[in-house]
Amino acid sequence: AETPGVLLQIDHARKQFGGVVAVNDVSFDVQTREIVALIGPNGAGKSTTFNLVTGVLTSSGGRISVLGKNINNAPPQEVVKLGVARTFQHVKLVPDMSVLENVAIGAHLRGHAGAVASMLRLDRADEAKLLAEAARQIERVGLSEQINQLAGSLSLGQQRIVEIARALCVDPMLLLLDEPAAGLRHMEKQQLAALLRQLRDGGMSVLLVEHDMGFVMDLADRIVVLDFGTKIAEGTPAAIKTNPDVIKAYLGA
């Protein structure tokens, strides 16, 4: 039975690609108002796990649920509707459009399939609603001053935050972030971490895949460690840091 605090439950998840078992009997959960980091060496199964949750891949076994509702093999639009939003490893903003336009278009694309055409057919009232929602999320992430700047003129750190604003437009309960700190400068990482803590403290949950250990150890409430498709450890940053199995996996011993 699921306890009331469980938002995302991954229960004996499995994914096989031909003869390769990318995710092998992995179980963990994400509670409400919690930041969980998924770490592990290259090829450990982090991206595959992420893609199982977001509906990009279909499971070979196990059960994944959001607030008790089974999302196994649910298509990505369905998973979004259940309150799970994601950002991607590489920035996908349109550089010569404004921050506002990027967030508004992204928000619209998430809600509807095949949306570029339908966006052009929006009536004035719908367009105004969409822009207002986008502006609200831009303010929430602290980028109001940049709202009319071209996305391509922002720093990489600010661009990552624009992507988060875009994800927030669907009003998610759970935010999935794929390597959000990659390529950022120290100060930008600190600003990103502060934003994620702010979102968590407002009631949101975050599941992130991240290679930057400093960032993860400073930010995560809990860490799940994968190696060769299997969960080898789970615990607080302090416990994970000194876990012999984790150290061994990272040293490749």
Task: Find the shortest distance in angstroms from Cβ 237 to Mg ion.
Answer: 21
- Closer residue to ligand ADP in complex, CB, 10/104: 10
Closest contact distance (angstroms) between CB of 44 and Mg ion is 8
- The token pair at 250 is 């990272």
Using the rule CB under 6 A, is 75 a contact of ligand ADP? no
- 10 is an interface residue for ligand ADP by CB under 6 A: no
Residue whose entry in the numeric block shows the structure tokens 């893609």: 51
What residues form DSSP beta bridges with 171?
Answer: none
Degrees, nearest 5: CA angle 226-230-232: 60
Token readout for 100 is 């506002």
CB of 95 to ligand ADP, least distance (A): 27
- Contact set for Mg ion, span 26-55 (CB under 5 A): 47
The site map against ligand ADP for 24-43 (x = CB under 6 A) is ----------------x-xx
Which of 17, 88, 112, 214 lies at the binding interface for ligand ADP (CB under 6 A)? 17
Compute the least distance from the CB of residue 45 to Mg ion, in Å: 8
Work out the angle between the directed axes of helices 156-168 and 186-201 (0-180°, nearest 10).
20
DSSP letters, 41-100, are STTSSHHHHHHHHTTSS--SEEEEEETTEE-TT--HHHHHHTTEEE--SS----TTSBHH
Q: List the beta strands (DSSP E) in 84-191.
A: 84-86, 174-178
**Residue 44, interface with ligand ADP (CB under 6 A)?**
yes
Backbone angles phi, psi at 88, to 5 degrees: -110, 160
By CB under 6 A, tell whether 86 contacts ligand ADP: no
User: How many residues sit close enough to ligand ADP to count as binding (CB under 6 A)?
Assistant: 11
CB of 23 to ligand ADP, least distance (A): 7
Which residue has tokens 């809990």? 222
Q: Contact region for ligand ADP (CB under 6 A) — 45-53, 70-78, 84-92, 150-158?
A: 45-53
Query: In the complex, which residues of this chain contact ligand ADP (CB under 6 A)?
Result: 17, 20, 22, 40, 42-48
